[in-house]
Amino acid sequence: MSALKRDVERYGGWRSLFREQSLYSVLLYRLGCRIDSISNSLLRRLACLFYFPIYRLFETLTGISIPKEVDIGGGLRIWHFGQIFIHPKVVIGENCTLRQGVTLGNRRSDDDVPVIGNNVEFGANCIVIGSVTIGDNVKIGPMSLVLDDLPDNAVAVGNPAKIVRIRKQD
């Protein structure tokens, strides 16, 4: 199944376009990735001329900034859109959930960015900055500041975030 189909599936299908503003930003991100994959450089440049104004408009209207350079697996879900910023070099696994106010970015240099595993849930206003690796099946509480790696199945909360529990896998 394509990444786009997994994204739409996590929103509950195409009908959610009528009720989920954040889905527009996810679809626009996937369109940007598609444009970057065009082999003809002239055609790719022409497509980018149309893409960037639309991207900036959506970024302004929704408060969601997902540059097309970000590497995101399928099944991205954004709850309660707004004030979501992702650095272009961040890597995000499959089936991740973002809530309003999430920032995933650099700390010191442009390459100093997080790598996020699969099935990670970010609470509202969560910030993950720096060369941080987040394992699979991790839950990060609201208003947490993550500055250190988190292992698989961890639950982390606080500022700075501390692991409060390692969940058992079924």
- Over residues 36-51, the mean pLDDT reads 95
Quote the CA–CA distance of 159 and 170 in Å, as a whole number.
Answer: 29
Count of C-beta atoms within a 10 Å radius of residue 168: 6
CB-hemisphere CA count at 13 Å for 69?
6
Bridge partners, residue 103, by sequence: 85, 127
Backbone angles phi, psi at 145, to 5 degrees: -115, 110
Range name among 10-24, 51-65, 82-96, 144-158 with the lowest pLDDT average? 10-24
pLDDT at 170: 60
Mean pLDDT of the chain: 94
How would you classify residue 83: left for phi > 0, otherwise alpha for psi between -120 and 50, otherwise beta?
left
Residue found by looking up tokens 């540059």 in the block: 67
Instruction: Give the domains, in start order, of the chain with CATH numbers.
Output: 3-166 (2.160.10.10)
Strands 127-129 and 103-105: parallel
Quote the CA–CA distance of 7 and 29 in Å, as a whole number.
Answer: 11
Longest dimension (CA), the chain: 52
Per-residue pLDDT tens digits for 101-134: 999 999 988 889 999 999 999 999 999 999 999 9
